[in-house]
Amino acid sequence: MTIKHLFGVTLLLSLAACAPQAALVKTQSEVTDVREDLKDTKTQLQDLQKRLDMVDANVKGTVDMQKTMADYGVRSDQITTDMQLLQGKLEENNFRISELAQKLDDKTFKLAELSAKVEELDAKVKLLSGVTTTSPGQQGIKSLEPSDVYRQAKNDFDKKNYDLALAGFQNYIAQFPSASQADKSQYWIGECYYAKKDFGKAIDAFNQVIKSYPKSDKVAGAKLKIGYSYLNERNNAKAREYLYRVIKEHPSTQEAALARDKLKKIGK
């Protein structure tokens, strides 16, 4: 291949890099729009809660209790229905954000992959043209995108191939430490150890979720499974400590309900 041809190929690859860049910008815009929608939904939920509080106040200050209670029941049912609808919308938006975040990971990865190819070809062109340059040190272009790595590891876990799943989740964090599913991968590492009955390592892995991803929606689950792990190690004192933390720090979650049930079984 002549120098002229190599320059032509480099130019084409550089132009090609613009396409995933545009897609990346579009996806980022979609994520922003969904987050704004999520913010509006939370505001509506707060407004409904205020309306419900006002209804409670009216009930307490009204003399005709029977009529008020009937009116309260109708209004309360309507507010409850509205809140359920908004809660459903909130969950749908959370799912959309998660989906878009994974797409953003993949598009960012593709853009980096294409840029690496352009840089590699540009280095070859400079080398052939007699320009001294340092090799970019490419160690091979990765073939799997972040979502592929996570999906494969989760599939292995669902099939109870815990060793494969463990390696997959660890690989995800090693390759994509800032990607959207890093917190969930760390959580599933703990679940892998828990399923293998290696409770000491499970506790360490779940603690890493709490330490490295304090705002993750997996934190409540991590604390709950730490409690369960201590129970399996016959350390009831530490188990109670973490189960009570779940109830106190995450009172409205499913994990809190599970913690209460477990405390009843082992005795408070």
Residue 115 in any domain: the answer is yes
Do residues 67 and 174 share a domain? no
Token code pair at residue 207: 């603690």
Tens of pLDDT along 14-59? 555 555 566 666 667 776 776 777 777 777 777 777 776 776 666 5
CA 203 vs CA 85, 210, 225, 232: distances in Å: 37, 11, 8, 11
Whether this prediction's pTM lies above 0.85 is answered by no
Tokens, residue 180? 């959207």
* 166 CB burial (10 A radius; 0-12, 13-18, 19+): buried
pLDDT of residue 72: 63
- Tell me whether residue 169 is in a domain: yes
Report if residue 191 sits inside a domain: yes
CA distance 220 to 87: 19
What pLDDT sits at residue 50?
Answer: 77
Residue 139: inside a domain: no
- Residue pLDDT, tens place only, 63-101: 455 666 666 666 666 676 766 766 676 666 666 676 666
The CA distance from 42 to 48, in Å, is 10
- Same-domain status, 157 and 255: yes
Token digits for 128?
């052939």
**In angstroms, rounded to a whole number, what is the distance separating the alpha carbons of residues 24 and 54?**
45
Where are the alpha helices (H) located in the chain, listed in sequence order?
A: 3-16, 18-61, 65-128, 146-158, 162-175, 182-195, 199-212, 219-232, 236-249, 254-266
Torsion, Cα 6 9 14 18, to 10 degrees, reads: 180
In a domain, 133, yes or no: no
pLDDT digits (tens, 9 = 90+) for 173-228: 999 998 989 999 999 999 999 999 999 999 999 999 999 999 999 999 999 999 99
Query: How many domains does one find in the chain?
Result: 2
Instruction: Identify whether residues 190 and 108 lie together within a single domain.
Output: no
pLDDT tens-digit series, residues 165-175? 999 999 999 99
Angstrom distance (rounded) from CA 122 to CA 119:
5
Classify residue 135: in a domain, yes or no.
Answer: no
Q: Which two tokens stand for residue 228?
A: 């369960």
The answer to whether the CB of 169 falls within 8 A of the CB of 186 is yes
In contact, 230 and 203? CB cutoff 8 Å: yes
Q: What amino acid occupies position 150?
A: Y
Q: Identify the band that residue 134 occupies on the pLDDT scale cut at 50, 70 and 90.
A: very low
User: Does residue 152 fall inside a structural domain?
Assistant: yes
The whole-angstrom separation of Cα 52 and Cα 76 is 7
The residue segments making up the domain with residue 9 are: 3-128
d(CA 208, CA 71): 50
